Structures are given as structure tokens and as C-alpha cells.
Structure 1
Amino acid sequence: MSFLRKLTAPFLGLALSIGLSLGQAMPAQALTPQQELVDKARITFEKLIGSYEFGELPGYLKRAKAVMIFPDIFKAGFVIGGEGGNGVLMVRDPNQGWSQPAFYTLAAGSVGLQIGGQSSETIFTIMSDKALQAVLNDQMKFGGDMSVAAGPIGKGVGANTTTNLDADVYSFAKTAGLYGGVSFNGAGILRKNDWNAVYYGPGVLPQQIVIDRKVSNPNTKDLVNALSPY
């Protein structure tokens, strides 16, 4: 028995060493914040586009110049309130389809008698060239010259009844929590240049991503495919 132990011990040690090295060679990789946002944007899009509650969203989307998807806009307040969240911008070209996503953030502040909190998954359909250029130029602020309106909710009447597209942007928001309605007037849309650089390369700007289409990331495939029917 002692002879057998001496004979097999080196092999057992080698097997254990190989097993440990294999386990160490394939660690679980955490998603980057950018990729996590891209994945959440796809989930939000599929949730809202397939919801009876937002039955007219497909019609607005098919007529839109671009779309912005914010998986989590959080609004909170007690006398002084604020809201914010990260999202992506995607532009449709008649020949090339939907672009890669560019990263943006929404930020706003308000003062008034407000108590409570609200989290919303929101899709903005950008209906005018003016609004799209404002987003690309980092000059988008809802209200004033750039009108935003709430998209119709609860009709569930399909994609072919969209009329009166007289606002620059329409919002479709699925909310949770307690707050007095969903209003985006006064909110600003700002580029996240640092995120775009991390995801696509140093110095890359939204114009190069969504209009010039000079860069791409293979990990956006599921999100782009989700939008492709529209």
C-alpha cells in the first residue's frame, strides 16, 4: 500500500494542480457599466415595445429620426427635487438601419412642494431633425424651443394610427413609485464622452457613432437586432 501511495501521489498532485489552474484561468468576468447599460436598454426596449399599455409606440418609433432609451431614470424630492439617469441614443438611416448606441445622461432639477420618489424606464422618440441635432450638439433641453410630449398610453391600438406628430420628442415612460406624474420639461440631455471613449475608443464622439458610423462594438448586436424591425 505504501508503494501504491508513493506511485500515485505525484499524479494526484498534478491533477489537482491542473484543476486549480483551469479554475483560475476562467474567472467570471463582471460586465462593465457601459455594457450593463446596453443590455438594460435592450430589456427596457423589449418590455415597452411589447406592452399593450404602449400600443402606439411602434408607430411613433417607425416615424422617428432617432430613439433614446433610459432603463432607469430616478426622480426624488422633498421640497427640492431632482432626476437623472443614463441612457443611449440610436439613429436610424433608411439604408443602413439603426446605428450603434451612443451614451448620454439625463439631468434635471426642480423646486416645489414634492414628496416621494419614482423610477421610470423611458423611451424618447426623436421626431425632428432639430431635436436630433440638438442632442448631437449637446444642447438638448426639454421645454422652450424643444417640445416634449407624453406619448399616448393605454390605447393599445397598434402601430398605424399615429397622427398629430407636432412635438419634437415624445416620451413613453413605465413608472414605479409615488410621484405626481411624469414630466421631463427642464431636463437636459448630455453626452457621456468618457463612456463613449471607454466603449468605442479614445476621442470618439456621438456624431462618429450614430451618424458617420465610423466605430462599432460587437456587444451591441442584441440591442440593434431588437430595434431592427422598426
Structure 2
Amino acid sequence: MTLSGLLRKTMLVASGCAALSACSDAPQTTASQQQIIVDRATLAVQDLFTGTTAQSRSQKLLAEAKAVMVCPSVLNMSFGIGGSGGRCVLLSRDARGSWSDPAFYRLGTASMGLQLGVQSTETILFIMSQRGIQAILDSQFKFDASASASFASIGSGLEDSTAGAHNTDIYAAQKNEGLYAGAALGGSKLTVDSGANRAYYNQTVGPEDIIVTMRVNNPSADPLRRALMSVAKLPVSSAATSRVSQAATAARTTATQDVVGNNPYPTTYDSTRPYSAQASSVQSQTLAPLKH
């Protein structure tokens, strides 16, 4: 390799690492910067569910999910030293089917790579259980065999796959250029972005304050919450469905939703105590990625 070629490759590696760092490590501490992430997440939700129906696998997952995490732009790189990074927002759903305001997280990983390239993908995590929420709330969650919650990567079979449908805590999917692809999250780690949460809500708050007790609110996140509401519908019993069909007003429909009881948090939740100490004891099993 010539000297100029070596210098050029070195610059590419440096540029890639710098860009990756900007996605996953560089602090972003103003409310306006966080609003950009929220706005992008809103657009990502709209894009991820474009062309789907109530019978689509993606909508069914969202309807049954207790929480979702949206990463509007995960930058995957491989410049000899590869990795991925991105900003994410976590929202939970209460018994009425309303979504919380977003809690900010960072997603990042580093690995050895052999290819030269950059790819940006939209990523969504469907969190299906209380255990899945607990795993993300209590510590830095890592997508590997030691994870305290089971997860599965959904590829091109997103609309028709049923593997692990009843025992998976977290489903992960990525969409790039209009197509769903297997979410390459092995080894990735989620960490709370405390600076972003503090900036967006103008006070020191943790994810529990935002998505569990829901004691803070930023009206600028309402478009994101509405975007999720427009897609996700709470599953209702046949009796509830009958009552809805007889309802003449939207108020009665809302009343029916009130009794669904989809809140994943203990009714006696104490925000001063660790979430894990108040959750039920469960066995953990890590699932292999779903087959495409």
C-alpha cells in the first residue's frame, strides 16, 4: 500500500470513529437538541408502520407491548474497527392506553469489522413484559447471553413470524431503505442519558419518574405520543368489544379502555425504592434471533 493510500485509510477510520462517538457518547444537553431526537422518533414511528394494517405482525406487537423504544437513526459502521451508536427514547403505556413522555437513552457498541461502509437504520424495540421493562430500567442493558431479559431479533419475517411469541421479553427490528432487516444488536448496550432527561424536563429526573410514575411532562412530545396512539390499540375482551359496539359516544369507548388493565407496574409502586425490589421474581431465558 502506498503512503497516500495508508493516509487515506487512516483518515477514514478516524472519521468513522469520530462520527460513531458523536452518535453514542457526545453529550447533548439542551432541550432543543433533545427535541430534534423526539421529532425524528415521531417520523420514524410513522415510517415504521406505513403500509401496515391492524392484522400486521408489527401492529399486533405494538398493541400488546407494555413499552417501546424508538431509535430514529442507529449508525452502523465498519472501518476496520466497527460499531454502532444512536439516541433512543423509551415510552411506556398506562392502563388507559396512553403513552408516557419519552425517557432518553443511548445505544452503543464497538466491534471488529472487515467491511468498509456506513449504514443508518431506524430501530424499534417492542418491550412485551414487565421483566423487559425492569431490565432496561434497573441497569445498563446489554444485548447478550447475560441479559436479564430474553430478546429476539426480527428480520424479514416481521409480518408473519410467530417464533417465541409467548416467552420473549423484547423484540427488536430495524428498517433500512424501506425494508425490515434483522436487528444486529448483539453486544450493544443501552445506557440512560441523564443529561438529556434533565435538559428536556428542566429538572433532574430518572426513567422511572418519566415512564413509571409519569410525574413529568413536556407538551412538545405530544406528537410522538399521538403517533403511537394512532397505531397501537389495546386488546380488549369480547365483552368489552360488545360494549364498545353499543357505545354511541367516544366517552363510552374511553371508559371501556379504562378497564383493560394493561399497566405493567405494581399498583403500590413506590418511586423511592428500586423498581426490581417491587417486581415479581421470574426466570430469564435468552432466545436466539428469529429466523428470517
Asked whether the two chains share a fold, i.e. TM above 0.5, the reply is yes
Distance of 2:158 and 2:101 partners within structure 1 = 31
- Matched residue type, 1:85: G
Shift of 1:147: 3.2
Q: 1:51 to 1:110 in 2, by over 3 A?
A: farther
- Matched residue type, 1:222: P
The Cα RMSD (Å) is 2.6
Distance of 2:69 and 2:189 partners within structure 1 = 13
CA offsets 1:176-224 (integer angstroms, 9 cap, x no match) = 5xxx964101111111110110111221111101100111011111111
Distance of 1:57 and 1:124 partners within structure 2 = 11
Distance of 1:181 and 1:49 partners within structure 2 = 17
Distance of 1:60 and 1:91 partners within structure 2 = 14
Q: Quick check: which one's strand share is greater? A: 1
Q: Post-superposition, which runs of at least 4 consecutive aligned residues in structure 1 deviate over 6 A?
A: none
Shift of 1:32: 1.1
1:43 is matched with 43
2:59 is matched with 58
Distance of 2:120 and 2:156 partners within structure 1 = 17
Shift of 1:105: 0.8
1:151 is matched with 154
- Matched residue type, 2:205: V
1:79 aligns with 2:83: no
1:193 is matched with 194
- Matched residue type, 2:83: G
TM-score (norm 2): 0.61
Shift of 1:151: 2.5
* Percent of residue pairs bearing the same amino acid type: 36
**Which runs of structure 2 are paired with 1:25-174 in the superposition (5 Å)?**
32-52=32-52, 55-95=56-96, 97-144=98-145, 145=147, 146-151=149-154, 153=156, 156=159, 164-174=165-175
Distance of 2:172 and 2:225 partners within structure 1 = 20
Q: 1:55 to 1:96 in 2, by over 3 A?
A: closer
Distance of 2:157 and 2:142 partners within structure 1 = 27
- Matched residue type, 2:171: Y
Matched residues, number: 195
Mean CA deviation greater in 58-67 or 91-100: 91-100
1:215 aligns with 2:216: yes
Structure 1: state its 5+ residue gaps.
1-30
- Matched residue type, 1:113: L
Structure (1 or 2) with the larger CA radius of gyration: 1
Shift of 1:51: 3.5
Distance of 2:70 and 2:166 partners within structure 1 = 19
Question: Are the counterparts in 1 of residues 156 and 182 from structure 2 also a CA contact under 8 Å?
Answer: no
Distance of 2:158 and 2:127 partners within structure 1 = 21
Question: Are the counterparts in 2 of residues 148 and 185 from structure 1 also a CA contact under 8 Å?
Answer: no
Distance of 1:110 and 1:147 partners within structure 2 = 22
